[in-house]
Amino acid sequence: MTKPLFPPGRPALCLAPMAGFTDRPFRQLCLEYGADLVTSEMVSAKGLFYQSKKTRALYFAKPEDAPFCVQLFGSEPAVLAQAVRILENDLGGQLLAIDLNMGCPAPKIAGNGDGSALMLNPSLAGRIIEAAVKNAHVPVSVKFRKGWDAAHVNAEAFARVCEASGAAFLTIHGRTREQLYSGAADRACMAAVKRAVSIPVLANGDVHDAKSALETLRETGCDGVMIGRGALGNPFVFAEIRAALEGKDDSPPSECERRELALRHARMALSEKGDHAMIELRKHLAFYLRGSRDAAKIRARINACKTLKELEQIWG
């Protein structure tokens, strides 16, 4: 039986796709701590089209993994269509949904006409969504922003295009491309997008704990929240929000619990990828250290270590 996209009777708690972060070990930990839906790192449709092994590795999975979403980016409908077919062939029943990235603000993405640049061309965005939906056997979602800049705020109209083109659900990040991640996420914009369509909408931006999650849900009326930076070094956030939704108290993790989970995360990643993964792990470990005593000193030592044994000696 296919896993339902959203839990019945309560808002969905979802892990946002983040390049360089949402690999298999991190996705597994977030699921364990209560995420309902997790998404891979951003995957290039063109990379799949040209059969790049490095691109395919971004959604590496094991047979026992729970179904998850994969996010694609690109701006050519035919290329997206082929990428969808490759994804479904590679993952089969492990593919829960396909998300189309129409919100990434990074210059190397938007500068090539992908990501948030598609908000400047809704008709092309619609054709891309239609091509993906036509070739997919799983739901297709779209993640986008408030708009390109203050002069081009079009999230509501863009949401309607997405729905008309066949999107099953949407994620709205409440900042423009121009803002990147500065300023506050606009909850009024998220609420407007929710009112503009009849399909489920997830709110994204500035959700980092139970308080911000409940406030976002109350102010936007959205069907769930998608958490990105707030989950880094903090998979516990999903359990915290779940408890709050149920009216229960959930004490924050201790420094010791954070350290233990960080080491477990490292063991999972290194077991899967080998000691060379230590370099990419450092950024994850830096987030686990936030608020810890002597964080700067420990981080400096971690950045110099090359093996799990060295890491355990530093932080064990």
The residues that are catalytic are: 104
Q: Pairing between strand 201-204 and 12-15?
A: unpaired
- Could you tell me the sign of the dihedral formed by the alpha carbons of 269, 272, 278, 281, in that order? negative
Q: In angstroms, what CA-CA distances link 126 with 99, 151, 164, 245?
A: 14, 21, 8, 35
Q: Which residues contact 224 (CB under 8 A, 6 or more apart)?
A: 6, 11, 12, 13, 14, 36, 200, 202, 203, 217
- CB-CB contact of 101 with 119 (8 Å): no
- Alpha-carbon span 63 to 126, nearest angstrom: 34
- Determine the residue type at 92: G
- Determine the residue type at 242: R
Q: Alpha helices, DSSP H only, in 39-152?
A: 45-49, 53-56, 77-91, 107-110, 122-135
Q: What is the DSSP letter of 153?
A: B
- CB-CB contact of 155 with 188 (8 Å): no
Instruction: Find residue 43's DSSP bridge partners.
Output: 72
Which two tokens mark 214? 């409940």
The closest of 170, 181, 177, 239 to 205, measured between CA atoms, is 181
